[in-house]
Structure 1
């Protein structure tokens, strides 16, 4: 899958899993932080998003470590991580 396609799919999963109906994929900057500034997600959102990503993309996620947190830093980082996991 093309990385740009994957980024859009990640954005759709974020919007659907976190009930952000007022946003469209175009509203989410691929390189903006998902947590804190940027999209402003919190730790509860992180848990829900992690489950949604795991189920939607059929990948394994380990316990939340600093490494995993880095993968969820932005849409771009998350798409790259998913692509790596799917190629294993």
Structure 2
């Protein structure tokens, strides 16, 4: 189940952020999403928050927890699995 969720998140991130040159298999699920790794920025984080809301019904109520949640695709998948309403 987690593998499927990781794949879904990779595809959603690529689509939402228009990362046309990246394939889901290119994203290491344990690698950081911000700075090193994919090198995403705060605008990209907002796009991911929108994905979580629209696709999984998750509202990020506590901005302080988002740093840990958004560390990697794996941490994002764990958070979605625990908190999804869709």
TM-score in same-fold range (> 0.5): yes
What is the alpha-carbon distance in structure 2 between the residues aligned to residue 47 and residue 86 of structure 1? 18
1:38 aligns with 2:62: no
State the Cα RMSD in Å: 1.3
Unaligned runs of 5+ in 2: none
- Deviation beyond 4 Å, 4+ runs, structure 1: none
Aligned residue runs from structure 1 range 4-83, under 5 A: 4-65=3-64, 67-83=65-81
C-alpha displacement of 1:60 = 2.1
- Structure 1 unaligned residues grouped into runs of 5+: none
Aligned residues between the structures:
85
Residues of 2 paired with 1:45 and 1:17: CA distance?
A: 9
* Offset at residue 86 of structure 1 (A): 2.4
In the superposition, the TM-score normalised over structure 2's length comes to 0.91
TM-score w.r.t. structure 1 length? 0.89
